[in-house]
Structure 1
Amino acid sequence: MSDPRLDLSIDGPVARLTIRRPEKLNALDAAMVDALVPLCRSVERSAAKVLILIGEGDKSFCAGGDVAAWSALGPAEFARHWIRDGHAGFDAVARLSQPVIAVLNGHCLGGGLELASCADYRIAEGHARIGLPETSLGIIPGWSGTQRAARRFGPQLIRRMSIFGEVYSADEALRLSLVDKVVDKGRGLAAAEDLAAVVAGRSATAVELTKMLINAVEGEERERVLDALAGRIAAGSEDLRQGLAAFRQKSQRPKD
């Protein structure tokens, strides 16, 4: 499954995923959300050591879910598909083995902030505005805005944005630890590429394991992290090598 409005490019150790829907402020519809899972699988299986996530243009990183795409859905469809499929796509981003750097090169609202919260590092350009306006439309921040975003930024900050309507400038977001760095307009991608070069110069295995452990502390896929870490140890053990050798010898014996 692919969508031309989500453009994935991989150049050596750096992958870049660009949301290309500037006419809709890079808002996401159902097809785009569905495409996130296979795109992340492609990144996982590549030689990339880091992913940069950015929106096309300079007005919006991502304006969240396309209102026209979800407003016509009935309650069951909304919960069963829009919300659950959104979680699946965003989980895939948050749980990538590789670190993710989000470039907020414009407004980052609603589902856009929920997507940015999946990243490991957020760089905001100076003109960006950040908030969770869903309740003003009569809906909730449904793509883990009250869950993952609350874990990463703190529940009180999420209350202030989602219940009381606070919207922050890039500088305010930096003070509140919503973003990790602020740069001038148009400088976000260059800053992300510089940071990606730092990550690419480090041990990919050590970075992956460290990210997994931090994710587990945050409650992100704790069970899978434990299984993956234990499986990695077992897969490199002498016991496994001997066990497989014995299995092969047994399978090659002539049958009576």
Structure 2
Amino acid sequence: MTLENIILEQEKGIATIFIHRPDKLNALNKATIQELHETLALIDNNPDVRVVIITGSGEKAFVAGADIAEFAHFSTEEGEQLAAKGQQLLFDFIENMKTPVIAAINGFALGGGLELAMACHFRIASDNAKMGLPETSLGVIPGYGGTQRLPQLIGKGRAMEMILTAGMIDAETAKNYGLVNQVVPQSELIGFCTGIAQKIMRNSPVAIAKAIEAVNANYTSGVNGFDVEIKNFGACFATDDFKEGTTAFLEKRKAEFTGK
């Protein structure tokens, strides 16, 4: 697969994806969404990759939004199709990956960029990051899950304010809101995320995938998250990782998980 809009680096169980459209501040277009989907689909089925970090190329932007020129003249039907396909291919796909995905927000994360970050399992921001959903200033609304995920993360009132004013917030405000977990200097961002990834990789890949599924169930309409937790808890008992984890604990040694 030839990658034109992203750069993929893989080392010691961590896949780092750089969205690389420097002339567009890494704005998302259909081609980039497709590349991300295909790359992430391969990663999610690769047992050698235990954690994914998504970030933007350069120092100015994570993703500064969607590529407006691509859809400025769309019809109602084309707009609906754009949102539906994007959510299916990328945003919902990331949220439901069994491999943990960390958003390393370096600089601007606006519109589709913030929606991409919110689809990841959690977010770390550089101290110069700016976040917002400016779509209403363009006469449209967020279409890649922003109206749904932002209230889940920061509450309805704050989400309404951000969406209706089309304003930006800085990294510290985002942390106070609960939109990002940590704020670090930009020069330390990838290293910090790598450190978290290494902590994740000490644990069972099977259990992590089951935990992601159970947490997401609480935010899925018509699904009882407690039932999913009970089912997934029981399913873990049949895994090699459970046997290894409990045996290692009783033997007072470090567990060596295989992901089976």
CA gap 1:130/1:74 in 2 versus in 1, 3 angstroms: same
Match of 1:201, SS state, is: coil
What code does the residue aligned with 1:29 have?
N
2:250 matched residue in structure 1: none
**Structure 2 residues without counterparts, runs of 5 or longer:** 240-260
Paired residue type of 2:125: A
Matched, 1:153 2:169: no
Provide the residue aligned with 1:241 in structure 2. none
What percentage of aligned pairs have identical amino acids?
A: 32
1:42-61 CA distance string (max 9 Å, x none): 11111211110100001000
Structure 1's unaligned 5+ residue stretches are: 238-256
- TM-score of the superposed pair, with normalisation by structure 1: 0.83
Match of 1:133 in 2: 134
2:29 equivalent in structure 1: 29
The CA distance in 2 between the partners of 1:221 and 1:18, in whole Å, is 35
Give the drift of 1:2. Answer: 5.5
RMSD value, Cα? 2.6
Q: Deviation at 1:23?
A: 1.4
SS at match of 1:208: helix
**Is the partner of 1:58 in helix, strand or coil?**
coil
Q: Deviations over 1:197-249 (max 9, x none)?
A: 111111111111111110111228959x95xx67x949x69xxxxxxxxxxxx
Aligned position for 1:12: 12
Is 2:153–2:178's contact at 8 Å kept on the other side of the alignment?
A: no
Label 1:213 to 1:221 Cα distance change in 2 as closer, same or farther (>3 A). Answer: farther
Q: Is the 8 A contact 1:34 1:85 kept in 2?
A: no
Task: Decide whether the 8 Å contact of 2:135 with 2:166 is kept in 1.
Answer: no
Distance 2:148 2:181 in 1: 20
Mark the CA change 1:188 to 1:214 in structure 2 (over 3 Å): closer, same or farther.
Answer: same
On the 8 A contact 2:110/2:132 being kept in 1, the answer is: yes
2: CA distance, partners of 1:220 / 1:185: 37
Aligned counterpart, 1:109? 110
Task: Confirm or deny: 8 A CA contact 1:215 1:221 kept in the other structure.
Answer: no
> Contact 1:16–1:53 (CA<8 Å) still a contact in 2?
yes
Partner residue in 1 for 2:68 = 67
